[in-house]
Structures are given as structure tokens and as C-alpha cells.
Amino acid sequence: MESGRYSDTIAAIATAVSNSGIGIIRISGSKAIVVADRIFESIKEGKKLQDVPTHTIHYGMVKDGNQILDEVLVTVMRGPHSYTGEDTVEINCHGGVLVMKRILETVIRSGAVAAEPGEFTKRAFLNGRMDLSQAEAVMDVIAAKNDYAMANSVSQLKGSVSRKIKKLREALLYQVAYIESALDDPEHISLDGYTRELRKALEEIVPEIEGLLKNADNGRLISEGIRTVILGKPNAGKSSLMNILVGQERAIVTDVAGTTRDILEEQIRIGDVSLRLTDTAGIRETEDVVEKIGVLRAKEAAKEADLIIYVVDGACPLDGNDREIIEMLKSKRAIILLNKVDLNLVVEEKELEKMTGHPVIEISAKEEIGIERLEKEISYLFFHGKLDFNDELVITNIRHKNALEAALGSLRLVFQGMKDGMPEDFLTIDLMDAYGKLGLIVGEAVEDDLVNEIFGKFCMGK
Amino acid sequence: MPYLEESYDIVVVGAGHAGCEAALACARLGLETIVFTVSIDSIALMPCNPNIGGSSKGHLVRELDALGGEMGKNIDKTFIQSKMLNESKGPAVHSLRAQADKQDYSREMRRTLENTGHLTIRQAEVSEILVEEGRIEGVKTFSGAVYHAKAVVLATGTYLRARCIYGDVSNPTGPNGLQAANHLTDSLVANGIEMFRFKTGTPARVDKRSIDFSKIAEQPGDEKIVPFSFSTDPQSVQKEQVSCWLTYTNAETHRIIRENIDRSPLFSGAIEGTGPRYCPSIEDKVVKFPDKERHQVFIEPEGLYTNEMYLSGMSSSLPEDVQYQMYRTVPGLEQVKIVRNAYAIEYDCINSLQLNPSLEFKKIKGLFSGGQFNGSSGYEEAAVQGFMAGVNAAMQVLGRDAFVLDRSQAYIGVLIDDLVTKENHEPYRMMTSRAEYRLLLRQDNADLRLREIGYEIGLVDEKDYHYVKEKEQLIEKEIQRVERTQVGANPKVQQFLETHGSTLLKTGTTLAELIRRPELDYFMLTEIDENRPVISEEVAEQVNISIKYEGYLRRQKQQVSQFKKMESKKLDQDFDYSKVGSLRKEAVQKLNQHKPASIGQASRISGVSPADISVLLVYLERIRREQ
């Protein structure tokens, strides 16, 4: 449920999140204009968006405290004459992933909440701004966007972060369960002197959350970047390429076909572009079960990739396996690398380009020839808007950060409560809130966790 | 043709804590009501623990009383010890518990039933429900008599196909050796009702004369007794009380249990029912918590006119000889004589997901149910459901709207919502942690929350209703006065603050601000509050809580208003969710299985995501516009 969302004002990035063109951050809800006023400074001194007529555009700066984030145009539309039917503010900024993120974060800190996937569309329909015939489409959009967000928000979370959050949640739940079992069975379980223990536990938990928050600022909570998959037949040179790009021995490189059995993942930067690089097992018909799983995963990964780098072994003629890969490249953004130019090429660059419809670059992974051209090509695609950041990722990171801040806020209320001498049954309210907030990050609802923990860990009487 | 046919407005099956409340509510609303029991002598029987109330259960009794139920009044008449639990904690978890004289409790309730107009009591085993085209028509007894009714309330407790077990002894009886009801299950199953089999247990009863009280600790009742019922005059319950006693198990007890664990029917597999985790047998506790060196044993009297004592904390289904051995390792019980053995009991109950929030079966109109039959546990949980099922049966017969309390109104609402919304695989027990708005659902304000509703139903009289209305006004008035009354930094005030270790005033403030200080409260301020009007203690208590905890209360009220928005969006219970294309498969399946009454209820079903709820909202809006 939407528990804890007291604000009805939502915000999100309304355009594709890429480094090109103009970006729009949209705010909708009863406090949209108030929120915008908190971060917008008009070029005309003293002008407040709350005082301007509807459907007007204003020039000024978006500020986070005293720091100017960007020069923007702000459109104010009062409900019901807006897309959602509610008061709406659109902030047109200069684009750029970092700037858009910063602005959205500031908007959220100023009183809006991150929109759920498909929420603008949902509101537009519920407020009568879309006609009846669009209902089915609206429902499909909501369902599809959610599936996507769900799949992403958890899978993008780094394993170490997810483990840490789960550990923090366990620790919190234990404390709540202890207090609750004592409340339910006061004659068996005592709370005398318990707040001391609780304080000790929280003094360990709070810095951990603060640490995670710091990481969130550096974008290290989730594996962000363009999801890039390196594909190719066994021994075509995928792992060597990956090692060059990553700059260290990461994948095992041998001359025996099929040595990369699992998926390896690395995050790299090429100029301003961040790639999440996945090396996969080579694609070819195989009988080896372990390798087969790797091949299946490679195909899966390719399906979800934003960019495919297809490494062709130029010293061998193309075969059925290559054709299978070329099939997978359809309707995908891809770069073809014709590898092993240091040997005798039997595959033609032109022919390959015609077959695939994607740019082809000749390289030698072994001699590190052509790598610069590859990097240039990736930058080109990105800055010409041909490659998008997955916009769900950006907002996912912001939602995570939000949740961490909220959890921290709840724990601070617990400290305040202890200071004010509040009875333990008040403290559990905020402890449980913190638990729920952290659950949002790892995609776990509260459900019956507490009752199960009480019975599992504490011996109830009667 | 049956040899006997009679017609009633309402039939109630069972006269335990649920059945009694159901029957009384219906009869008091003027409907001709008949209540069946397998034994007239076991009306309102307490076959397990000898007390009413306790954490969160005390809340249920208070709420039931505010609505016009009987349990609170009955325990006020028959208690022999009373305690307010959790007094050192916040007001939301204060909970009243009273030891009952079991026989007296049962007798008093029977007297009340026998003296209520429109109510007939009949000893007979109901063996069939009569259903015509999805509507209840009446019931048939094992002897063949037919009783027609406009509505039926099932409250069979733990009697359906009951089996009592200890060691390798298995008796096909209900609790206390009473006759089980062995036939009704077949009729229910034949009518498409899904049954579960649950289990619970009880400790031995022992002879008081065989206990060495010099070795165990006395547990007296509270000095000042608070009655359960809002209608009971507190002065009338200040009386002599009987003590309970505390002792502990030890390493020797645990050794005996471990060595004989293979002889427990729970571990040998002879018991198939699912038991509750919160009220484990002593062998469960020893196995599950091996590090615990000792467990508490409360020895509680079963009544004033009997020597039987209840060994709370040591329920068991171990064989008789092991029971003797283990009980006799406990200090004070070295020579103990068992009067009745401990046993486990297995019984049939229903999957409560088949019920609407009004406790009516979704598939059988006019058939309602309450109590342990619904898969709950405890006298108090049973009583409130019996009451709600009875009132709803009556509302239907009278052509009035169904009566449902939501999670923000009462623990009763939480209990029933959990039962009809969440998968439940063990006897359900009320707990304060299940109530998300518990700061608002206090036992001290149950009358303020629910009296008016009871009055509208017709089960609270004018006098009680006006009393609470007046109380409400007095509270409001006093809160306003305290918020407005200025306190200057004069010597008297400073002296007062200094005495109580509170920071001295620099400038003036209000009484309310002082009450909010952790070290002060409304009652302490009497000294410096010169114009305080004469108000009753119960009014003062409400004023104190409202002001002292204002911040927390306000937050919960905000949450409630969000919650109410979703609850007010009703769903059609005949709706086929597979028609909504964008819902995920799992959600369609769960929604079709549950047929929730509102968007709020739908959102609490496990397997239904927030996105599914968004899709449903859009779908509802489409339907609304199409109409």
C-alpha cells in the first residue's frame, strides 16, 4: 500500500533521461506550486509562482539551498486544465543526467514524493482528463511500467547493499519484536532497563544507514549506467575485450572455447558515459550443462541490454551461431567488432555491416588496436541521444535514497522519544516505520513479519 | 417429513462465549431467537484458562461492552481477582485482566440468557444446515427436528469432530469430556464450505491442598479495581480478592520432558491439527527454546468453591505418567495431585476467507459464523465475533445495513479484517501489535469510540448513551481550558517545577505545554492549576492522554484518514477480476478467491501489489463513467 505517503504531490522526470536536449521535471498535486516555489528563484526579484497566472512560463534558477543547479524555464498550470487535472509545474532544464537527478532530488526534499510508475497517467484518467476509450491503455501502461520498475529496482540494487539493508532490517525487527512480545506477555518478558539496550542497537544501525546514504549520493547504491552486453561465439575475444575496457584481468582468458561460464559484470566509464558491462559465455550450441546455463543467461541479458557489443572472430567464417546472434541484434542498439585484425581476416567489414545494419569497427583485442574508435562510437551514440539511460534507474536511485532518509528520520524520532521518556510502545511505532521504509528498497512488504518474529524468537507464555 | 417443525427469526448454534453474545444481541433487538447447545450446563463454559482479558484481549472486552455486549458485565459480577497489566507502559497497552470464578461465570451468563425475552434455549445437537438456492433456510437436529430461520449463526467452538489427546489416549469428546458434535461437518462440506483442522491445548488442574505454598510467590490483585464494563459502578467492584501464585520449571522438568518427547502425540504425528504458536505446550517451549533454563508457571484458582488450581504455562499432551513426573519437579508441586489431566484438543473449523467482513458466508446468504469455529482462539476473540455475527444476522432480518467496524475503529475491526483477508493457518489470537492504529484504539476510550454505534444498533440504552455524550463534552471543554490557561513564571510555579525536577520558566506558558513535559502530567499540575473545575477521574485521564501524547496521536489520525479513503471505495463482490486485462495473473487469482469488499481490503491481500490497486482504481473509474 501507499503507506506513509502523506503528500499527494508527486514528481518525476518526464522526458527520457539522456545527456541530450531538454529535460523536464514534472510536479503534480495540490502542493505542486508551493514545492516549486521553494526551489525556484525568478530572475525578477521577489516573484512567486503562487502569484502568477495559470499557463505561464517563467525564467529563473533552480537552487538547492544557495547552490544554483541550473538555469530553467518553469511552466505553471493550475488544475483542472493540466495533463493530470491537478496543479502542475514543469521545470524545463538543460538536460544532462546529473542535473536532472539533482533537480528531482531537490524537489522531493522540498515536499513532493517520487511518482510511482505510471502515476501521472493514472491521475490524468482518474481526474477525468482522458476519455473512456483510453482506460484499457492506461491500465496497460500502469501494469507494464510497474513490472519494469519492479524488475529493475531490486535487480539494480547492488548485492552488498541489499545484504546490508536486509541485515539492518533484521536487527530492527528483532528490537520491535522484543518490545512487542513484552507488551503482549508482560508477565513473562520484562522491559526493565531495555531502552539502554535499544539505544546501543540503534547507535550501530544509524551510522550504517548514514553510510548507505552517502553512497546513494555517489550513485553507488545501484548499478547505474547503460546496460551493455558483450556477445560472440566462444573464443571470439569477448573476455580479452572486457579486460581491456576494465583495465585489469577480470575474466578468465584461455584459448579453450567455453571458459567464461558465468556472467561477469563491471562498471566502467568512457568519458562521460557510464557502462554496465556484462561478459557472457560464448553463444554456440552446447551439451555442457553448466555452460548451457551461461548461454541461456547471455541470451536473457542481451534481451534486456541497452547496448550490445558483438565480437566477431574475423579469422573464422561466419556460421549458424553467428546468424543466431545477428538475429538477436534486430531492433537493438549494437556495435559490431571485427576482431583479430592481427590475423588473416576471412570476414569482410562491408558484408558484416550490410548483414547487421550496425556500425562495424575492426579491432585486435590482443594487440589493443581499434579500442579508441570503439570508445568514440559509444560516446557518439550517447551524446546524439541514440542511447538513453534507463530512466527508471534514475528514479529508482532517488526512491532508494528517499527511503533511506525516511528510515533515518524515523530512527531519530525514536531517539527523541527515548529522550522524552516515552514508553516503549510508542518507540516501536517509529522503529516499525523505519523497518517498512528499508523494506521498500529491497522490495519486501511488511506483511506478517512482526508476528512471525515474535513467535519465532520469543517464548510466549500462557 | 420431520416430526417437529418450528420457526424462528434466528437460530444460534452453540452457547459458548460467541453463541451467548450472538443470541443475546439478536433477542435484545426483538428477534425471536433460539440457541442450541449440546449441554445446558456448559453455557459460557471456560474450559481453559480461568481469566478474562489480558493484553489486547482486555481491549476486545471493553469494546464489546461499549457496543452493548455481555462479557464485561458478566466478568464484573463473577471475578475473584483483577489486575491492570502494563501500567508502567503507554496508555494504549494498558490492559485489564480478571480471574473468574468459572462456575459462577457460567451460571451468571446462563441466568442472563434465561431471563432475556424472545430467547429460547434448547439442548440438542444440530447436525445439518438447510440451504435452498444459496440461502439458509434453517437447521436440523440429530434427533430429526427442523427449525426454520431467516438467519443462522454458527458458533460451534471446539466441538466439531473434537478429539482430546494425551500420550496415546485419544477420546472423541469435546473439552472437559463433553459430547462432541460429530455430524455437522459433513453437512457443511456438502454445502461447499472449506474446513480446516486446528488444535489447542490446556494444562492439568490440580488439588490446592497438595500444593506447598511456602515455596512459591504470591501474586495479589490490584489495590484499586477497575471494572470491565462502562456500565458498572467502580465502587461496586472493590472487594476481597484471591491470589494467584508464581513458580518455575527447572532443568529436571526439562530433562523429563526431553526424555519422553517421543511419547508426545505432537511429535509422534498422532495430532494432525495446526496448533497456535503463541500458546505452546511446555514440551513445545522446551524443544523450541532449549537455551531457556526455566519457564514461569502461574498457579491460578478455578473458583471460590473449588480446590482446583490451573497450572498456567504448562499445557501438555504428554502421557499421564509423564505429566505427574514433570509437574512434581516444580517447586511447590512436589506432592501435587492431578484432578484433571492436561490434554490437547483437535477440532474442525472453517477457512475464514469464506466470510464477508459482516461474518456472513459469501456463498450462503443468511448464514453467519463466529468464534473458534472461524479459526480464532480465546474467549474474548470468540465473544466479539459472536456479537458481530449476531448483530449482522439481526440487521439482515430487519432489513438494515450490515454492521462492519474497520481497522481504525476497533480491535474488533482488526480481528475480523485479519480473519477475512489474510491466510490463517493457526488459531488466531489478538495481539496489540496487529493493530496499526493502536494509540487511538485504547481500552480507556472504547466508550468514546463505540458507545454511539452501539446506541444506533439498539443495544445501548439512552442513559449510557447520554452519559458518554456528556463525558465527551466535558473532555473537550477541559482540553480547551488547559490549552488556553496561561501560567506565569511566579514563585509558586517555579517552586513546583523545581520540586518535580523540571526546568524553570523564563516566560509564561500554558498548562498544556507543562503537561507535555516528560516529567509532568495533568494530575500533578493540580497544585498550580487554581481554576481547575471538578471533573471525574475518567475525564481527567482522557484530557491527560490527549494533551500529553498529542503529536503521536495526530500522526496516527493522519494515517487513518489515508486509510479511510481506500476503505470507502467499495468493490462489487460478484465481480470477476479476470475481466481486467492488465492485472497480473496472481492478483486475479487472489482477488477472485477473496472477493474483497473494498479497495482497502484488496490492498491487504498478500499477492496484490500497489500497481494492481492502481489498475483497479482506473477500472472502477471506467465503470463509474460508463454508468
Q: For chain B, what are the domain ranges? A: 5-200+347-457, 205-344, 462-558, 569-626
CATH superfamily of A159-219+391-457: tRNA modification GTPase MnmE domain 2 (1.20.120.430)
Q: Give the 3-state secondary structure of residue A370.
A: coil
* Cα angle A305-A445-B431, degrees, rounded to a multiple of 5: 170
Q: Is the dihedral of CA A313, A314, A317, A322 positive or negative?
A: positive
Complex ipTM: 0.91
Please report the pLDDT score of residue A153 as a whole number: 61
With contacts defined as CB-CB under 8 Å, which chain A residues touch B518?
Answer: 420-422
Please give the CATH number for the structural domain made up of B205-344: 2.40.30.260
Q: Which fold has domain B462-558?
A: Arc Repressor Mutant, subunit A (1.10.10)
On average, the pLDDT of chain A sits at 80
User: Which residue would you say has higher pLDDT here, A81 or A322?
Assistant: A81
Tell how far CA A182 is from the center of its chain. Answer: 40
Which pTM value belongs to this model?
0.84
**Partner-chain residue, chosen from B583, B603, B615, that has the shortest CB–CB distance to A1:** B603
Please report the pLDDT score of residue B570 as a whole number: 92
**Within A76-158, where are the H helices?**
97-109, 119-126, 135-155
Alpha-carbon gap, residue B421 to B407, rounded angstroms: 12
Q: What cell was used for B21? A: 453474545
Q: What percent of chain B has pLDDT over 90?
A: 88
Q: Determine the average pLDDT of the residues in B421-448.
A: 94
Alpha-carbon gap, residue A86 to A129, rounded angstroms: 10
Tell how far CA B378 is from the center of its chain. Answer: 7
- Is a pLDDT exceeding 80 seen at residue B429? yes
Distances (CA, A) of B164 to A441, B5, B279, B343: 48, 34, 17, 6
Q: What is the DSSP letter of B363?
A: S
With contacts defined as CB-CB under 8 Å, which chain A residues touch B313?
Answer: 461-462
| Domain B569-626 = CATH 1.10.150.570 | yes
Q: What cell was used for B545? A: 492522554
pLDDT tens for each residue of B574-616: 899 998 888 888 899 999 999 999 999 999 998 888 888 989 9
Q: For domain A10-115, give its CATH number from 3.50.50.60, 3.30.1360.120, 2.40.10.10, 3.30.465.10.
A: 3.30.1360.120
- Is a pLDDT exceeding 70 seen at residue B500? yes
pLDDT tens for each residue of B80-101: 999 999 999 999 999 999 999 9
- Is a pLDDT exceeding 70 seen at residue A432? yes
pLDDT tens for each residue of A96-109: 777 888 899 899 88
Residue B526's pLDDT band, with cuts at 50, 70 and 90, is very high
Distances (CA, A) of B485 to A236, A312, B488, B496, B515: 85, 85, 10, 17, 12
Q: For domain A226-383, give its CATH number from 3.40.50.300, 3.20.20.60, 3.30.1370.60, 3.40.50.10480.
A: 3.40.50.300
Closest CA to B621 of B580, B573, B567: B580
With contacts defined as CB-CB under 8 Å, which chain B residues touch A1?
Answer: 566, 603-604, 610, 613
Residue B396's pLDDT band, with cuts at 50, 70 and 90, is very high
Where exactly are the structural domains of chain A?
10-115, 159-219+391-457, 226-383
**Partner-chain residue, chosen from B312, B439, B580, that has the shortest CB–CB distance to A462:** B312
- H/E segment holding residue B108: helix B102-114
With CB atoms and an 8 Å threshold, state whether B433 touches A180: yes
- Is a pLDDT exceeding 50 seen at residue A256? no
* Poorest-pLDDT segment among A269-273, A312-316, B126-130: A269-273
- H/E segment holding residue B103: helix B102-114
pLDDT tens for each residue of B295-323: 999 999 999 999 999 999 999 999 999 99
Tell me if chain B has a CB within 8 Å of the CB of A137.
no
Please give the CATH number for the structural domain made up of B5-200+347-457: 3.50.50.60
Q: Is the peptide bond before B301 cis (omega within 30 degrees of 0)?
A: no
Q: Give the 3-state secondary structure of residue B558.
A: helix
Q: By the 8 A CB rule, do B303 and B81 touch?
A: no
* Cα angle A124-A127-A130, degrees, rounded to a multiple of 5: 50
Minimal-distance CA residue of chain A relative to B619: A135
**Partner-chain residue, chosen from A142, A422, A460, that has the shortest CB–CB distance to B611:** A142
Tell how far CA B514 is from the center of its chain. Answer: 37
Tell me if chain B has a CB within 8 Å of the CB of A415.
no
End-to-end CA distance of chain A: 34
